[in-house]
Amino acid sequence: MFARHAPAVARAVAVLTLTVVAVVSWSAPGGAAPGSTGAQRYIVVLDDSVGSPAAVARQQTLRLGALLGPVFSHALNGYVAELTPAAVDRLRADPRVTAVEPDTWVHISDQQVPTGVRRIFADDNPVLDIDSQDDVRVDVDVAVIDTGVTRHPDLNVVARADCSLGICLSGFGMDDNGHGTHVAGTIGALDNGVGVVGVAPGARIHSVKVCLATGSCLSSALVAGIDYVTARAGTIEMANMSLGGAGTSTAVANAITRSVNAGVVYAVAAGNDAADASGFFPANHPDVITVSALADSDGDPGGIGGNPACRPQSHDDALADFSNFGATVEVAAPGVCILSTWNDGGLNTLSGTSMATPHVTGAAAILAAGTGDPTNRADVLAIRQQIVAAGNLGWTDTSGDGLQEPLLDAHGLA
């Protein structure tokens, strides 16, 4: 998760630096300690031509004497297994296998009309009718792939699943961190006169828990969450991923590609390392909407509001001091001192590209709502292009990369 918390917030969750580390595996086959066999947990990516990933997974792991974990078949043909170095080499030589990669950790990128909603002019959009009356709800289904989403009076949560161990259990997965609930509020908090209002008020939220209470998430859990969403692509139009890790993941990348092909739009956080986003996944995936963070202190354009109170090292209407940047970023959105729903039923203020991303998810959800429902890759990329084309350059890019991405502008989206 990419999130930075305001110093003044009492219920602060520790800021997580973006790192990827080797994963300590399950107990090795036969009950031996992992260190005695050299076995570790891997994701095995099978070729798309493999018709029965479960059967192939059982066959391969049985032949190798390996411990089989979750199997994926919707967004990815593949499985998780505990493998020795020798088993990894044998699988990589199998023509049915396209990749074998360590199962790594990634991390979350962490009523009044919030300043972010005002800064992207969502409250000026007549289609949304933001007026403190719960009389218009955006007809769209959005998956929040995160720490889960807690029951909250300001949120329309219609389904939940816990995929944090790589196997998705429907009906489970409350938010034990707060990050996912905060993200969900920016996307779709109700326009009901209390709390806050989201960019796409009343959007139906599907809570897909992939991260633990610490904010850490296995890449296999990400694949499981994407697989879960892809299996429901006939219902879910949008997915928010305010999380990521350094480097690349073939398994996660392949899963996103197949999910996009099935008609799901993905908005993804660029990351909080003040670095080029091309070095982080899934921000570097070519088909997602990658989002950098704008610092905004007053909800108005012009850069005259002074430095944000919760993060004075950032400047009004400029790139947030922590935000990643670069050619892989499609759009910027407010991501500093963002007020949204919290997992105790109240509100909280956070900063990060995690907070910028759900602004974009909500805006894209407006385009995907109703008859705009994307059903294939072309539809997804068309929504992505509309978001980019509708943006404006009325802000200051301080990254020095020479590539100013447009700032999200939702006032004319319909």
All domains in the chain, ordered by first residue: 29-103 (3.30.70.80), 107-390 (3.40.50.200)
pLDDT at 354: 96
Catalytic residues: 146, 179, 354
Average pLDDT over residues 126-144: 83
d(CA 311, CA 315): 9
pLDDT at 20: 33
Average pLDDT over residues 178-196: 94
pLDDT confidence tier of residue 122, bands split at 50, 70 and 90: low
Q: Is the pLDDT of residue 13 over 70?
A: no
Average pLDDT over residues 288-295: 97
pLDDT confidence tier of residue 130, bands split at 50, 70 and 90: confident
Q: Are 233 and 262 in contact (CB under 8 A)?
A: yes
3-state secondary structure of 82: strand
pLDDT confidence tier of residue 127, bands split at 50, 70 and 90: confident
Q: Is the pLDDT of residue 18 over 60?
A: no
Going by DSSP bridges, is the β-strand pair 331-334/97-102 parallel, antiparallel, or unpaired?
Answer: unpaired
Instruction: Say how many C-beta atoms besides its own lie within 10 A of residue 378's C-beta.
Output: 10
Phi and psi, residue 209, nearest 5°: -80, 120
Residue-wise pLDDT for 294-316, tens only, equals 999 888 888 887 888 788 888 99
Q: Is the pLDDT of residue 349 over 70?
A: yes
Number of H helices, E strands in the chain: 9, 20
pLDDT at 299: 85
Average pLDDT over residues 186-202: 93
72's CB contacts (< 8 A; 6+ apart) are 53, 78, 79, 223, 224, 227, 255
Residue-wise pLDDT for 234-258, tens only, equals 999 999 999 999 999 999 999 999 9
Q: Which residue has the higher pLDDT, 111 or 74?
A: 74
pLDDT at 37: 62
pLDDT at 25: 32
388's CB contacts (< 8 A; 6+ apart) are 289, 330, 331, 406
Q: Which residue has the higher pLDDT, 279 or 121?
A: 279
Fill in the amino acid letter for 241.
M
Residue-wise pLDDT for 138-151, tens only, equals 999 999 999 999 99
Average pLDDT over residues 47-70: 96
Q: Is 31 left (phi over 0), alpha (psi -120 to 50) or beta?
A: left
The tokens for 295 are 């610092």
pLDDT confidence tier of residue 32, bands split at 50, 70 and 90: very low
Q: Dump the DSSP string for 299-368.
A: SSSSS-S-S-TT-TTS-TTEE-TT--BSTT--EEEE-SSEEEE-TTSSEEEEESHHHHHHHHHHHHHHHH
Q: Is the pLDDT of residue 278 over 70?
A: yes
Q: Are 280 and 290 in contact (CB under 8 A)?
A: no
pLDDT at 119: 66
pLDDT confidence tier of residue 23, bands split at 50, 70 and 90: very low
Q: Is the pLDDT of residue 31 over 60?
A: no
d(CA 347, CA 257): 35
Q: Dump the DSSP string for 35-47.
A: HHHT-EEEEEEEP
Average pLDDT over residues 206-233: 97
Q: Are 319 and 274 in contact (CB under 8 A)?
A: no
